[in-house]
Amino acid sequence: MRSEKTLFTLLLLLVSLFDLTPHAAAQPPGEISARALDALLQDYAFRSLNRPRTGVAYNAVLPVNITGVGVSAMRVRSGSLRARGVRSYGEFRIPIGVVEQPYAKRIVLVYHSLGNWSSLFYPLPGFDYVAPVLGLLAYDGSNLTATDLPELEIRALKKPITIEFPENDDIIEGGSGSSPYSPKCVFFDLHGSVDFEDVLPGNVCKMFKQGHCSVVVESEALAPAPSAAGQSSYGRGGGKSKGWTILWSLIGVLIFLGFLALLVLRVKKYQNERSKKKEKRRSELGTDRGEAVQITSFENLRAPFATGTRTQPVLEDHYVP
Q: How far apart are CA 176 and CA 184, in angstroms?
A: 11
Closest by Cα among 134, 84, 73, 155 to 107:
73
**Residue 153 confidence (pLDDT):** 94
pLDDT in tens, 18-40: 443 444 444 545 568 999 999 99
Q: Residue 48, Cβ neighbours under 10 Å: how many?
A: 17
pTM summary value: 0.60
Identify which of 105-109, 178-182, 188-192, 232-236 has the greatest average pLDDT. 105-109
Give me the DSSP letters along 257-317: HHHHHHHHHHHHHHHHHHHHHHHHHHHHHHHHH-S--EEEEETTEEEEE-S--SS----S-
Name the more confident of 17 and 247.
247
Q: Residue 29, Cβ neighbours under 10 Å: how many?
A: 19
CB 135 within 8 A of CB 39: no
Name the more confident of 229 and 278.
278
* Lowest pLDDT segment from 229-233, 235-239, 284-288: 229-233
Name the more confident of 299 and 3.
299
Name the more confident of 108 and 221.
108
Secondary structure of the chain: what % helix, strand, coil (to 5)?
A: 35, 25, 40
**Residue 250 confidence (pLDDT):** 80
pLDDT in tens, 70-119: 999 999 999 999 999 999 999 999 999 999 999 999 999 999 999 999 99
**Residue 57 confidence (pLDDT):** 96
Q: Answer whether residue 2 shows pLDDT above 60.
A: no
Q: Residue 62, Cβ neighbours under 10 Å: how many?
A: 18
Question: What are the residue ranges spanned by the domains of the chain?
Answer: 1-31+237-284, 32-236
**Residue 275 confidence (pLDDT):** 81
Which stretch of DSSP H or E encloses residue 2? Answer: helix 2-17
Q: Find the mean pLDDT for residues 264-287.
A: 78
Q: How far apart are CA 55 and CA 107, in angstroms?
A: 10
pLDDT in tens, 232-262: 444 444 445 556 677 777 888 888 888 888 8
Which stretch of DSSP H or E encloses residue 242? Answer: helix 238-289
- Under the banding of pLDDT at 50, 70 and 90, the label for residue 141 is very high
Q: What is the CATH number of domain 32-236?
A: 2.60.220
